[in-house]
Structures are given as structure tokens and as C-alpha cells.
A and B are shown apart, each in its own frame.
Chain A
Amino acid sequence: MLKDNKLFMMMKVILRKDRVSILVWSLSLISFTFYVAIAMPYLFPSEADLMAMTQMLENPAMISMLGPIYGGPDYTFGAIMAAEMLIFTGIAVAVMNILLVTKHTRRDEEDGLIELIQSLPVKKTIPLKATLITYGFVNLIIGLIIGIPLELMHIESMDMMGSIVYGLTLSAIGIIFVMLTGLMAQLSSSSRGTLGLSFLLLGLFYMMRAIGDISSEALSLVSPLGLMMRSKPYVDNSLIPLTIMIFASFFIGYVAISLNMKRDLDAGFLPQKNGKAEASKYLSSPFGLIVKLQKNSLVIWAITVFILGASYGSILGDVDSFLENNSMYGQLISNINENGSVIDQFVAMLHVVIALFGTIPVLNMILKLRKEEKKGRLEHLISRSVTRNKLMTSYLTFAFLTSILMSISGAMGLFVAGNQATQGGLNFVKILEGTWVYLPAVWGMIGLSSLLIGIIPKWTKGIWFYLTFSFISIYFGGLLKLPDWVPKLSPYGHVPQLPVDSYHFTGSLILIFISAITIVIGISAFSRRDLDNPA
């Protein structure tokens, strides 16, 4: 490989360009894993705690969420760690690869970078090969870094072999998604399409194994997310699933490269249809443009949030049985509130989850404004007597509507499935109230993003860190034994937990006030600053 100088140079360029993203992703993944591993003995100091936890993990509802737990009946910390963490860490690794590989395939192609490279005397497939190989190695290294020190920490029952298998399992799922994304980038002809297809696959694999783990082993084995769990780190340390995944990766990578060889630049293998010669009458304002561009993604998000609500709702019937003990979810919930019935506490937790998850599309919509600026598309609008004020207000309006739509669809999902599971034990209005109280917090996030866009546009993406922080501090606050003031640093920490708490409007008012002020400042700063030149 070192002989192939151009490939190697290309790989170096990719690594250089992405060093920050790779570092941030790796450090987050690694440190989170270590934190949980270290915390494990403290979280379950007694045999009884451990029992409670494993009982919960054996519950079919949990299995369909997290995958099967192996190594019973006397589970070790290692077995629990794998059951609890592996699937979601794997998903995080997959997400990382989908984002980064899309960036170096379709996005670079759209930006004309690939054209530039192909005009040099290099083989047509070099950029794709370099991306696939680079990220193959990145995943391998992340896996090793997670695996080896995990063993060095000498946590009881987390042995060398198990830790390495644990890490390599993550590498394997990562590498599969490197290749799959590379393949999707050939089928689709845009970066949006590539992202969409890849995430669709991820969701499909998750659902396949969620159903498979309950009812059909074969179905789980077909899904990479199901297959990876079968390496059974710390229990069986089976290398067979990993070998299959690596072979599959080679095969997928090979297909991607041969398709890349065959296709034209900027083309895809899925058909492109022609569109309309004239715009519909709604496409006549910035808001109309946003609706036109975002409506598909809005619908997909609404469905996703609905499914999220519904999948949690569907396990409400089993809640009592697995929350009775002081288990992990028990801790999550008691962090949120110590009063109320178990089911109420669970519902309260679901509201937070729906609110946090539903914030993602909302922030996405506002951040589009910044993206449009960087792509040099805002000047088309601004040079045509659209005020910046109007432009930003249009994006914000759309974000507000998104926030409301997300909370409704999440509440509906939760209600429809939960009502079924509890045989009519839920009240829709109550559920809706529970999600709606979070709206002021979401709006606070909107305000903060506006502030960033107006005042420090280069840092706009930092809002994702704040959302991640909010998620971890609130959702995992109990599990990670964080001090009480930590969740209070997030707007979501200031929302009453319905139906357990009673509602005070002062908190909401304060959040709305903060949101309004930051939005006003953000807009006026945006109207006063230079627009960035397109990159």
C-alpha cells in the first residue's frame, strides 16, 4: 500500500482534514466507555443491585431495545457492560462513519473537490479507496484503543480477550458502515441522499434485530447490529461474527469501488427524474423556499419521533415489573423524580427523551441558515430585497413549527402504543401536556442558536455539544451519579416533570423570556454583520 503513493497521499489529506472530527468522536466514544466501565462497580455495589439490573436486562422489552444479554445466570460486570453499552456505542460508531464518509464521498463531489483530484493524473477510484481505507483504519484504531486500556484498568471480570473482542466488535460495525456508506454514495447522486439511505439502513438494521432478538435469531443474524452482539464479549469472545463482518465489508467495499469505476462524476445509479419548469405559487418567499426544501426531512423526522414515542410506549405495560427494583432505569428515573407511581416516573422520563430527541430537527432547521450562508446561497435572497431580518425570522418560524410538530408526533406515538400496552391507561391530553412543557426549553435552544449565528457564527455547531451535554446530564445523570446542579446547566433541567411534578408557569416564562431576548439579539447581530464569503 505504501507503494501506491497517490493513495497514501490522498489518505493523508483526508486525515488532515478530519483530524478534529475524528479526535472529537474518538475521545467521546472512548471516554464514555471508560467512564461506564469504571463506574460499573460503584453503580452496583451489592449483589442485589446486580440482580436487579440483570433482571431488567432480561426483560423482553429491554432486549428489543438493547439486544440480548449473554452469560447468565451469574452475570459478570463484563457481561452487563456488553449488554448495556455495546449496541448504542455501535450505533454511535455507525453514525460517525456515515457522517464522515459521506463528507469525503458525495459532499466533496458536490463541492467539486473530486473533480479537481480526478483532473490530476490519478486513478478515478483513488478518492473513494482512500476514504474507505482511511476510515477502515480509523475504526480499527478506535476499537483497539477502547479494547486494550479497558483490560488494563483491571476491572474484575473484564479480561484481556474480552476487552479486545469488545473493541473489535465496535471496529467491525464501524467498518461495515464505512463500506455501506461508500456504497450508498454510489447509488445516490447527492450527499443528502447518501445520508438518508445510510441512516435508513441503520434504522432498518436496528428494527430487524429488535424484532429478531425477540422472535427470530436468523433475522438478527442478517442485521449487522444483531450479528455484532453475537461476538459475546466477556462471555464467549467469539470471533466468527467479526470475521463474517470483515469479509462482508470487503465485499461491500469492492462493490462500491467497482460501481464508482463505472459511474460518471456527479451521477448516481438510482434514477433521477426531471422536475417542474415553473415554481408552484407557494415558492415566492424565503419561508416558501424553506418549506419546499425541508418538508421531506420534516416528515421523516416527525415519523421518526413518532416511532421513538411508540417504541417506548409499547413497553409501558412491562414497566412495573422491571422498575420495581433499584435498577439502572430506576436510577435514571429517580434522578428525575422520586415521587409518583413507577409508571408516571417512566412516562416523565419518556417526555424528556422525546423532547431532547425532537430538538435535533429543530436545531437542524436553524443551522440550515448558517449552512446556506456558507454555501453562498443567501446572497441570492438578500440581493433581491429580502431583509436579513425577514430571512432569519423565516428560519426561526420554521424551527418553532418544527418544535411543536415534534412534540405532538412524539406524544402521539407514545399515546397510541402506550395506551395499547396499558389497556387504555393513558390520557392523551396529559401526555401532550407532558411533552409541551418542554417546548420553552427547546425554544431556549433556538434562542441560543440564533445568538451563535448572529454573534459567533463560526461556533454555530457548538449547539450540538450543548444538546449532547443536556442529554447526558439529564438522561444519564442518575446512572453516572452526577451532582444535582449539573442538569440545571441545561434548559431541560428547569422543566417540571409531568405527570409527577406539578406545573409552575414561572419556569416556562423565564425560559420563554430568555428565548425571546436571545432571538432578538441574534437577529439584530445577524443583520449587522458581514455575511461570510462562500468557501
Chain B
Amino acid sequence: MNVLEVKDLVKKYGDFPAINGINLEVKPGEVYGFIGPNGAGKTTTIRTVLGILKANGGEVKVFEQDAWSDAVKIHERIAYVPGDVNLWSNLTGGEVIDLFLRLRGQKNQDKKYKLIEKFDLDVTKKCRTYSKGNRQKVGLIAALASEADLYILDEPTSGLDPLMERVFQECIMDLKAEGKSIFLSSHILSEVEQLCDRISIIKNGKIIETGSMKELRHLTRSLVSVKTKLPLEQIDQLEGVKDVRLEDGVYQFQVDAKQIGEVMTYLANHQIEYIENMPPTLEDLFMHHYGKEEA
């Protein structure tokens, strides 16, 4: 049974197809990353999954129920943080969090207190005085303190500082350990990379790639930094090597995953002093894709 299943989803704004036939499957206990540049259709997809928007075509099932017609039943098992957390300027953060938990009928407060402490939020402040990051924290605390089966987070770390981003990642790991499913969208790629079991990449309303990090990695190249005794004169003529740079005697270049063996042999022949082979970040992966499309 899939927690979330999207089949051939189409969503139009007027005539403009913001989502143009996408497919997704989130399995129980999985952390699923949904990546795409601005305007790719992440938020639109999520709002359709939540039954805030009605699909123009295809099917969206959450816990095997229809996202639109069974929305309320589904929401009892979902926690959601919108991409832009707008709050009521006259309420305090604490009041908003309590309201949000109570609307789900949740009694247990322990998690809430822990999260408030972890995220270091002053809950006595009126929401109008909160920064974007603090508003995001309010949304996150309310969602993460909820007992849900599926957590849907739209760009959850936008506005958080690196320290808070770390706290957030810990929270996601905890939820994962509890066996919860998490669906998060992002265009900040490093966070998704560490958290996600699987990801989909969306662009212009279409999914252009889906798979585990492992599966997607072989599509792309590694970043190699190497220092050798003998100069690597012909390195840029090798097949699959790109973007060669030389700095302080250290060569840095990208290698297509398929060619990595041959390149390594070549390097070994030049007496390696030091080598570092980094797995591609999603940034690279991303660039690769868009580079390819644009080329």
C-alpha cells in the first residue's frame, strides 16, 4: 500500500498547465524529496494532494483515499507546513501552535514543548513581530508535534539558519525512525540529499527523473580533486572529463560515472599524491539535467 499515489495528474490555472501529467509514489516509512526550480509546480502538486486545489485530470490518492473527496479523513492523518507560513499578526506563536494542534484534536503536549525548546522560539511574541524564519518555525513545530502518518512539508527550511536546519534534519530523522512517511519539496538540494530515500525531479510541470539517490547518482558525474607527481597534460582530452581546473597544482574536474574506471587508470599512471572523489551533490545532478535540456 502506498501512502501517496499520484497518477497522471494534470492541474491547470486557466489554460496554463502548471502540472502536466506527473506520477509519484510514496511508500510507508519513506522520506521522499520533491525537487524543482522556482515555478516548477511543487506547491501546486502539494496543494492538489491536500485537496486545496482540484485536479483537472488524473488521480491523487492518499492512504488509498481520494485527495479531493475524502480530504477531511485524509487530513486527520496528515501534518502540513505551507511554503509561505502566513500567520495572524495579533496572535502569539504559542497561541497559533496550540490552535493548530487542537484543530487536529491532539492532546499530547510533550512533543510541543520539546520542539519549542529545540527550535529556540519565543512563543510569547506576536506573530507580526516574527521574521520569516520564525514563522516557519511556528509552522514546523505545529506540524512536527502532530501525531500524523504522513508529513507534507513545502520547502520547510526556507528561512531557517544552518543551525536550525540541522535541528530540522534531526527531527525528520526521528520521525523516520518512528516509521512515518515524509514528503518534502525543496530547491535547496543539500538538505534533501541527506534526508531522502528517494527523490523526484520536477521541471515545468513534468517529472524528469525519479529514483533513489543511488540510482540517480550513476546518471551523472563525480567531482574529482587530484594531485599527481607527473603533470596531467592530456586530462581534458579523456572521454567523459569536463570542466578541468588547475589550482595550486591540484586538478579539479568532473567525470561521467561511466568513464570513471578509465580515468582512474590514467591518474594512477601519473603517481597520485592526493585524491578526493566526491559524490555528486544534487546541485550537480540538477545542473546536469538543466544543462542537458538547455544544450
Instruction: Verify A385–B103 contact, CB threshold 8 A.
Output: yes
Instruction: Verify B94–A279 contact, CB threshold 8 A.
Output: yes
Measured CB to CB, the closest approach of chain A to B141, in angstroms, equals 12
CA distance A286 to B99 in the complex (A): 9
Instruction: Verify A266–B87 contact, CB threshold 8 A.
Output: no
A383 CB within 8 Å of chain B: yes
CA distance A142 to B76 in the complex (A): 55
Select which of A288, A376, A387 is within 8 A of B82 by beta carbon: A376
B95 CB within 8 Å of chain A: yes
CB closest chain-A residue, reference B123? A277
Interface-side segment among A64-72, A95-103, A325-333, A526-534: A526-534
A58 CB within 8 Å of chain B: no
CA distance A92 to B103 in the complex (A): 42
Select which of B73, B80, B86 is within 8 A of A534 by beta carbon: B86
B91 CB within 8 Å of chain A: yes
Instruction: Verify A533–B43 contact, CB threshold 8 A.
Output: yes
Instruction: Verify A279–B95 contact, CB threshold 8 A.
Output: yes
Residues of A contacting B90 in the complex (Cβ-Cβ under 8 angstroms): 192, 293
Instruction: Verify A386–B128 contact, CB threshold 8 A.
Output: no
Instruction: Verify A278–B53 contact, CB threshold 8 A.
Output: no
Instruction: Verify B129–A272 contact, CB threshold 8 A.
Output: yes
Residues of A contacting B277 in the complex (Cβ-Cβ under 8 angstroms): none
Decide: A284 near B99, CB < 8 A? Known: A190-B128, A275-B92, A385-B72.
yes
Instruction: Verify A384–B100 contact, CB threshold 8 A.
Output: yes
Instruction: Verify A383–B95 contact, CB threshold 8 A.
Output: no
Instruction: Verify A284–B103 contact, CB threshold 8 A.
Output: yes
A382 CB within 8 Å of chain B: yes
CA distance A286 to B100 in the complex (A): 10
Instruction: Verify A276–B76 contact, CB threshold 8 A.
Output: no
Instruction: Verify B123–A384 contact, CB threshold 8 A.
Output: no
B223 CB within 8 Å of chain A: no
Instruction: Verify A110–B89 contact, CB threshold 8 A.
Output: yes
Decide: A283 near B95, CB < 8 A? Known: A382-B50, A384-B75.
yes
CA distance A274 to B92 in the complex (A): 8
Instruction: Verify B94–A277 contact, CB threshold 8 A.
Output: yes
CA distance A421 to B125 in the complex (A): 49
A481 CB within 8 Å of chain B: no
CA distance A235 to B56 in the complex (A): 67
Residues of B contacting A277 in the complex (Cβ-Cβ under 8 angstroms): 92, 94, 123-124
Instruction: Verify B98–A383 contact, CB threshold 8 A.
Output: no
A380 CB within 8 Å of chain B: yes
CA distance A274 to B75 in the complex (A): 32
The contact string, 1 if C-beta is below 8 Å from chain A, for chain B 75-110, is 110101010101111111011101110111100000
Instruction: Verify A284–B126 contact, CB threshold 8 A.
Output: no
A285 CB within 8 Å of chain B: yes
Select which of B43, B80, B86, B92 is within 8 A of A377 by beta carbon: B86
Instruction: Verify B88–A110 contact, CB threshold 8 A.
Output: no
CA distance A277 to B98 in the complex (A): 9
B217 CB within 8 Å of chain A: no
CA distance A284 to B47 in the complex (A): 24
A501 CB within 8 Å of chain B: no
Instruction: Verify B103–A386 contact, CB threshold 8 A.
Output: yes
CB closest chain-A residue, reference B92? A275
CA distance A380 to B125 in the complex (A): 19
Residues of A contacting B123 in the complex (Cβ-Cβ under 8 angstroms): 277-278
Measured CB to CB, the closest approach of chain B to A132, in angstroms, equals 24
CA distance A189 to B126 in the complex (A): 11
CB closest chain-B residue, reference A275? B92
Measured CB to CB, the closest approach of chain A to B48, in angstroms, equals 9
Instruction: Verify B128–A292 contact, CB threshold 8 A.
Output: no
Residues of B contacting A154 in the complex (Cβ-Cβ under 8 angstroms): none
CA distance A299 to B71 in the complex (A): 36
The contact string, 1 if C-beta is below 8 Å from chain B, for chain A 68-93, is 00000000000000000000000000
Instruction: Verify A530–B54 contact, CB threshold 8 A.
Output: yes
The contact string, 1 if C-beta is below 8 Å from chain B, for chain A 264-294, is 0010000010111111000111101100110
CA distance A274 to B91 in the complex (A): 10
Measured CB to CB, the closest approach of chain B to A369, in angstroms, equals 14
Instruction: Verify A110–B128 contact, CB threshold 8 A.
Output: yes
The contact string, 1 if C-beta is below 8 Å from chain A, for chain B 109-149, is 00000000000000111101100000000010000000000
A13 CB within 8 Å of chain B: no
A379 CB within 8 Å of chain B: yes
Select which of A288, A383, A531 is within 8 A of B80 by beta carbon: A383
Instruction: Verify B99–A276 contact, CB threshold 8 A.
Output: no
B219 CB within 8 Å of chain A: no
368-382 of chain A: CB within 8 A of chain B: 375-377, 379-382
Select which of A110, A190, A292, A379 is within 8 A of B47 by beta carbon: A379
Considering residues A190, A376, A384, which has the most beta carbons from chain B within 10 angstroms of its beta carbon?
Answer: A384
B52 CB within 8 Å of chain A: yes
Decide: A530 near B86, CB < 8 A? Known: A276-B94, A387-B72.
no
CA distance A387 to B72 in the complex (A): 6
Measured CB to CB, the closest approach of chain A to B274, in angstroms, equals 43
CA distance A386 to B125 in the complex (A): 26
Decide: A289 near B126, CB < 8 A? Known: A275-B92, A376-B84, A383-B78.
no
CA distance A277 to B130 in the complex (A): 14
Instruction: Verify B103–A192 contact, CB threshold 8 A.
Output: no
Residues of B contacting A274 in the complex (Cβ-Cβ under 8 angstroms): 92, 124-126
Instruction: Verify B89–A192 contact, CB threshold 8 A.
Output: yes
CA distance A474 to B98 in the complex (A): 47
Residues of B contacting A285 in the complex (Cβ-Cβ under 8 angstroms): 102-103
CA distance A285 to B87 in the complex (A): 16
The contact string, 1 if C-beta is below 8 Å from chain A, for chain B 219-249, is 0000000000000000000000000000000
Decide: A385 near B89, CB < 8 A? Known: A276-B124, A379-B47.
no
CA distance A268 to B271 in the complex (A): 67
Residues of A contacting B84 in the complex (Cβ-Cβ under 8 angstroms): 376, 534
CA distance A495 to B21 in the complex (A): 55
CA distance A284 to B104 in the complex (A): 9
Instruction: Verify B104–A384 contact, CB threshold 8 A.
Output: yes
Residues of B contacting A385 in the complex (Cβ-Cβ under 8 angstroms): 72-73, 75-76, 103-105
Q: Which 9 A-B pairs have the closest CB atoms?
A: A279-B98, A275-B92, A284-B102, A385-B75, A277-B94, A279-B95, A384-B103, A383-B80, A274-B124
Mark B residues whose CB is within 8 Å of A: 43, 47, 50-54, 71-73, 75-76, 78, 80, 82, 84, 86-92, 94-96, 98-100, 102-105, 123-126, 128-129, 139
In addition to A386-B72, A530-B53, 14 A-B residue pairs with Cβ atoms within 8 Å of each other are A275-B94, A277-B124, A279-B94, A279-B96, A279-B99, A279-B102, A289-B99, A377-B87, A383-B50, A385-B75, A385-B103, A531-B52, A531-B53, A534-B84
5 residue pairs A–B, Cβ–Cβ below 8 Å: A190-B128, A275-B125, A279-B96, A286-B103, A293-B90
